[in-house]
Chain A
Amino acid sequence: SQQGEEDPQALSIQEGENATMNCSYKTSINNLQWYRQNSGRGLVHLILIRSNEREKHSGRLRVTLDTSKKSSSLLITASRAADTASYFCATKRTDSSYKLIFGSGTRLLVRP
C-alpha cells in the first residue's frame, strides 16, 4: 500500500506563480523526501526533511513537515516553465530502516 499520497494529482499554473503540493502519510517516519521526475527520465532528489524538523529551504523550494497531521508540503516559488515535471514524496518509516516508500506524485505544468 502507498505510504505517501500527494495532493493534488495535477496542477497547472502560470510562470511566476507559486506551486504548492501536499503529501500525507500513514505511519511514523524518520524522514520525508521530495523528488522530481521530468518526463521519460529518472527521479532526482530535491530535499530531505527529518522528523524533528518543521521547515527546510533550498533555493526556491520550501518544505514543511507536520508530524502531528502526518503531512508535508512542497512550495516552489516563482515557478518557471522548466519546473514542469512530476513531484513525488517518499517516506522512510520508523519501523523499516531499509525501505523508502513513494507516493503517486503530483504532475505540475507551468505555462509560459
Chain B
Amino acid sequence: NAGVTQTPKFQVLKTGQSMTLQCAQDMNHEYMSWYRQDPGMGLRLIHYSVGAGITDQGEVPNGYNVSRSTTEDFPLRLLSAAPSQTSVYFCASSYWIGQAANTGELFFGEGSRLTVL
C-alpha cells in the first residue's frame, strides 16, 4: 500500500494563478481532509470529506475549493493564489466509523510545499 500520496511535493506560483494539489489514498478510507501548516500555528483544517460527494469547511476554507468524486481522491484547488497561501499543505485520511463514534487515527501524506510570489 502506498498510503496517502500527495503531488506535487513543491510548487511555486505567482499571485493570481490557480492550481490543484492532488491527494490520493489506497486504504479505502471514508474520511479525508486537508490541513495547512505554518510556523508557530500548528496545523489548521481547511476542508474535509466524510465520503464521496460530501465535503465541508474546516477552520480556514477561504480561497480553497475541494470536491470528492471518488473514495480515493480529494483534490484541493487554489482559485487565485495569494502570498498568504504560502504554506505546507497536508492531506490526511482515516476510517470513518459513524457520526457518533470517535475519529480514529489520521494517516498523513508527506506534504506539498507551496510558495506564492
Which residues of A come within 8 Å of B, CB atoms?
A: 1-2, 4, 30-31, 33, 35, 40-45, 48, 50, 88, 90, 92, 97-105
Q: What are the nearest 10 A-B pairs in CB distance?
A: A42-B108, A45-B105, A104-B42, A102-B43, A43-B108, A92-B103, A102-B42, A42-B110, A31-B102, A97-B99
Which residues of chain B from 1 to 44 have any CB-CB distance to chain A below 8 Å in the complex? 4, 31, 33, 35, 40-44
CB of A96, distance to nearest CB on chain B (Å): 10
Query: How many inter-chain residue pairs (CB < 8 Å) link A and B?
Result: 65
CB of A5, distance to nearest CB on chain B (Å): 9
Q: Determine if B42 and A103 form an interchain contact, defined as CB atoms under 8 angstroms apart.
A: yes
CA of A105 to CA of B37, assembled, Å = 11
CB of B107, distance to nearest CB on chain A (Å): 7
